[in-house]
Structure 1
Amino acid sequence: MSVLDLARPDIRALSPYSSARMEAQGGTVLLNANESSRPPNIPGGEGLNRYPDPQPPALVASLAELYGCDADRILVTRGSDEAIDLLVRAFCRAGQDAVVVSPPTFGMYAVSARIQGASVIESPLDPTGTLDADKLLADVTPAVKLVFVCSPNNPTGNLVGLDDIARLAGELDGRAVVVVDEAYVEFSGTRSAASLVDRHDNVAVLRTLSKAWSLAGARVGALIARPEVIGLLRRIIPPYPLPSPCVDAALGALSYEGRRVQRHHVNEILTERARMLEELPGVPGVREVLPSHANFLAVRFDDASGTYRRLLAAGVVVRDITRYPGLGDALRITVGTGNENDRVLAVLRAGADG
């Protein structure tokens, strides 16, 4: 059985839109895409009068090298969000199919499913924030086409082991695609689930340049999956998903110098994360700091709402995650620069003294 047998039959049979840039390559007089013949008169405008390549070869090659896979296993998307949406639209029939999520986790899995008209089955993490593979497998019904696994998990920061992911993929072979969201994996020091794609055609891995690569504003992500899955999603992705300036920014970040700077930034975050993990538990009002393999900390407070308001009044914006299951007393604090983290600690200590 092919993983494509899980996809919507109408998507498999769909004749994709063929853009002008896809149909013809090369040439010096470009008159096939109804573009302007002249660039805009703005700084950096050279080339912006032309549509970008739908899947820029240089960027695809750089990401394939970075993630240790062949280029035909990469689909470049507008952040991870677009890849999530594409997967749901390709595999889930409205009113018939379902996805599995493990709350508390990233909310876009459920939002994308509900927009598509797919059902959302919740298989919550256990009280320690650990994914229970046995429970999740028991929650998978015949309607399920996608199982979302976030590792490190947002907003708790915990990991799901590769052995557990491999087990899920094996047990769900021919039944569902296991989608592993690794938006924060660069901060974890662990191997990517992309290493499982060779063995399991029902594993798809989400990656992004938004976090560890400092490109949240450029919206560059990637899906790693078997070539047949990549080909399926290329049928439904918009013709020109990535603006040229975003492609240029990504290539700059992935250059030799860009990678050197990235390593420095990640090491700085890991150092500051360790410092905050050490200092926060001693701050009055802090009940618990959850272990984290990401660039943030989920922190339980005696008065989460009051602490949130106090931080905001001091100009410090953190994420209120009290609406998430099991996190009714918690805030998520991104690990910032040393000065930013000092400011967080100072406000928390001042509030406790007051």
Structure 2
Amino acid sequence: MAIVKSEYTHVAATASNGDNKYVKTLRLSVDPAHIDTEEARAAIAQAAQILRSGGLVALPTETVYGLGANALDPAAVARIFAAKQRPSWDPVIVHVAGPIFKNPMLDPLLAEFPPVVYGLMKAFWPGPLTLLLPRSTAVPDIVTAGRPLVGIRMPAHPVAFEVIRQAGVPIAAPSANVFSHISPTTAAHVLDDLDGKIDAVIDAGATRHGVESTVLDPTQSPMMIYRPGAITEQQIREVAGPVVYYEDRMLPKAAAPESLPSPGIGLRHYAPRARLILVEGKLDELPARLAEAAGQHAKDRLGMMLPAELAPTRFEPPLRGAAEFPWGHWSAPEELAERLYAGLRALDAEGCAVILCPMPEAEGVGVAIRDRLRKAARSAKD
């Protein structure tokens, strides 16, 4: 697949102090199933060079698209925060590539290596598990918001893995979107938020999991999941023992805390422009409950995340005429996770003022979906 240049043809200079000037965002296209073609190799090499030079590249991972910069370069990481309008108290995750053990990119980042980590890495890396580990002095404070632990993962997406490997440096990469907005699962989503603010985006199609990685602190006893994701509590427990969830009540009450203990735990995140209304209930109860919720917003342009099992339903007013996004099968939560952010963005694009979204069961990846929806539904004033 060829490099796509279209209107994204020039990479402009950016201020070294972290203040992003307007740039022409380069759009590179790589088929993840054919990364050995001449065109793919050229695109990957170009992205790796931009990263080595202190630039910003949006990378496709198996979770969402991440906005990457050299994690060892504080000025480059500052550009991430500037482009995303991300507050400095919210730490970012560092991505590495190469062998799982005795990794020359990973090992210098760590002050120590807790024994429990070996089993977790062997079981889940490369993959959507971020581990919070004691950092070395090589990791800049801006990456961890001054905290002693750094979040690290090894992505399973072949394009991200190869770009990082060729760059030869660990890559800091939070989601490639404006802070607190819906995370991107396609290159088009990235450009909707960040076109003109970053140097390049690699278009490798839609992401697989659709929600961010699980973030786990294995240094605590019991271990703590700060953010649920595609790797579930049960999977972690089977490999490494007892694990608990972080609770929102543990967050600082201040609107701008000194720093957060982990990426992805801000109270309001993943939010569409529309007001998001969450609807609880079993599948057979959802039509009535959706109608009840819609009745409270009859004057608004309504959108609905619609499970496939409800597609034949003949909804009565006020749901009749609502914009519908075919979310996926209620019986397949992995499908719901994969399409979640794309659906919220699509309904935003339809001009919906209110989006109604059923809440899946809190099982497996359903826990991660519920976490994202709760954060997305919070008011900015909460």
Q: TM-score, normalised by structure 1?
A: 0.29
Larger helix percent: 1
Q: Based on CA coordinates, which of the two structures has the bigger radius of gyration?
A: 1
